[in-house]
Amino acid sequence: REILAGFEIDVLEIRDPAPVLGESEEAQRGRRLALLQTALLEHAASYNLRTVMTFHQKVEEAAAFATKLPETAAELYLNDATNDDLAAADKLPKSSIDAAFYELETGRHVPPHRVWSAWLCGDHLVAERREALRQFANGIDAAGHRIHRAFLASVRVLGEGVDITGERGVEAVCFADTRGSQVEIVQNIGRALRLNKDGTTKVARIIVPVFLEPGEDPDDMVASASFRPLVAVLQGLRSHDERLVEQLASRALMRQPRAKLHHLVRNEDGQITGASGTRGEDQEQDGTQGAVESALLHFSSPRDAATIAAFLRTRVYRPESLVWLEGYQALLRWRKKHHINGLHTVPYDTETEVGVTQAFPLGRWVHQQRKALRAGELDDHRKELLDAEEAGMVWEPGDEAWENKLAALRSYHRAHGHLAPRQDAVWGESEGLVPVGQHIANLRRKGGLGKDPERAAARATQLTAIDPDWDCPWPLDWQRYYRVLADLVDADGILPSIEPGVLFEGDDLGKWLARQREASTWAQLSTEQQERLSQLGVQPL
């Protein structure tokens, strides 16, 4: 099997700064193509990319992209930050709300004559294709002059077996349109995964533009139609090798601040002399092995791992309808907004914002999922998603109360080492006090775990996992004294001398111990109680 380079997927989340309402699809695609040019040039500057292939489905779009790119590059270069801009920014007063400036940087973009662009389609002659590929892969223009960045727009013209070889090869691919087949997507990704000819380490970049709707929150990506291009690319990768997407899922991290990779250095004449003051423009970057081992999925804005995991589960592994996913995303968003963990009931009248919907009826949606489950109409995969920790679905009204009660009992046991509290004992903090003593007393009564035998057995198992003696056949008061004394036994298994009057949380340990040693009391104890006391060195007098 051919060895391929490592890769990272960069999701360019692009928002139209001046959307036009009611414009035609053709006009919208034209505007988005212009926005993509700017975003791609900025991204290329961030990673010092020298060769980028873009893939389109329409010839006119590929041609327009390549033709207009030099103009966009010239505009970005003209508006690049200068040393004077940085000096002026430093002199501004500190923000009263601790706001920070957008990162200014000089020398970010290269002069327009150092940016090369071309496009190819099936109508180009073989000789024309070869010449375009030669210039692109070797970083030269038609006159043989060195260029810094090269962009090649392609419309399904480079079939399988057509390798792009040269001094630079293909460092990145960008999917301007993902409406092609999964085979096409995998084939196009493969352009960037060819190893460097000289054997040096390479990390290819797979760039996926995502155009956000006005007002859309990218955190709502689970149910967003805007992220269909990313879904298409990930499904293409998964069709080629499932392990690739599994690796993305296990290493998905939000974008972190990173060391700058470019920092173009210019001489007195304004010519580029290197990057970071040490490298020439054509010298290979160092330390890329660390990039291979870093996160493989990057977003333009921070994204938590739970959101990415939910996206992969619902859109890639087991694709769901966007209609159902809107409700699922609303549930996740509502819980995150209110800092909710674990099982939690959603009130029936709850409405919440999700995507571009301002008042999604979340409470009614949750109720519909319960009805579907009772009717046997809820898909197993959907139930798995709703049972996940981040969703915390409550299927029955009593479930949430039981889980809260169980959590309080676990906490009490961690602190005391037993589930034998006084009947008037409460546990928790301030307004969250829980009557754990009364709870245990009620649970130990006949039918205390509920009328449903299956549910009662499950709850008994949960309590036993906390403390096997929660339902001991003797009084809880006896169990509490015993557990406290058992914790006082030293390393040699010897119980220290405890005289009557020695209290622990209101219990007179010495008085109780003396009573157990009385022959009349000892005779009333069960065999197991006697054995437990004997293990502590307690014997009848």
Residues 410, 357 within the same domain:
no
Give the range of the structural domain holding residue 519, as residue numbers without chain letter. Answer: 477-535
For 213-251, the pLDDT digits (tens) are 888 889 889 889 899 999 999 988 887 777 777 776 666
Residues 440, 529 within the same domain:
no
For 519-538, the pLDDT digits (tens) are 999 999 999 999 999 999 89
Q: Is the pLDDT of residue 281 over 70?
A: no
Q: How many CA atoms does the CB half-sphere of 114 hold within 13 Å?
A: 16
Q: Kindly state the average pLDDT of the residues 313-325.
A: 81
When mean pLDDT is compared across 222-231, 308-317, 392-401, 441-450, the lowest value belongs to 392-401
- Reference 346, options 374, 368, 314; nearest CA is 368
Q: Is the pLDDT of residue 495 over 70?
A: yes
Confidence category of residue 489, pLDDT binned at 50, 70, 90: confident
- Let me know if 111 is exposed, middle or buried by CB neighbors in 10 A (0-12, 13-18, 19+): middle
Give 483 or 276, the one with higher predicted confidence.
483
Q: Is the pLDDT of residue 68 over 50?
A: yes
Confidence category of residue 383, pLDDT binned at 50, 70, 90: very high
For 404-413, the pLDDT digits (tens) are 788 889 889 9
For 506-515, the pLDDT digits (tens) are 899 999 999 9
Residues 6+ apart with CB under 8 A from 483: 416, 417, 418, 420, 469
* Residue 254: count of CB within 10 angstroms of its CB: 15
Residues 20, 40 within the same domain:
yes
CB 170 within 8 A of CB 70: no
Q: Which residue has the tokens 């290197």?
A: 274
Confidence category of residue 191, pLDDT binned at 50, 70, 90: confident
Q: Kindly state the average pLDDT of the residues 17-27.
A: 79
For residues 494 and 142, give the distance between their C-alpha atoms in angstroms, rounded to a whole number: 93
Q: Kindly state the average pLDDT of the residues 442-448.
A: 93
| 150 is a domain residue | yes
- Reference 351, options 339, 367, 362; nearest CA is 362
Number of domains present in the structure of the chain: 4
Residues 516, 460 within the same domain:
no
Residues 443, 518 within the same domain:
no
Where is the domain boundary, 216, 239, 262?
A: 239
Which pLDDT does position 472 carry in this prediction?
95
Residues 80, 123 within the same domain:
yes
Provide the CATH number for the domain around residue 76. 3.40.50.300
Which pLDDT does position 508 carry in this prediction?
93
| 207 is a domain residue | yes
When mean pLDDT is compared across 123-127, 257-261, 443-447, the lowest value belongs to 257-261
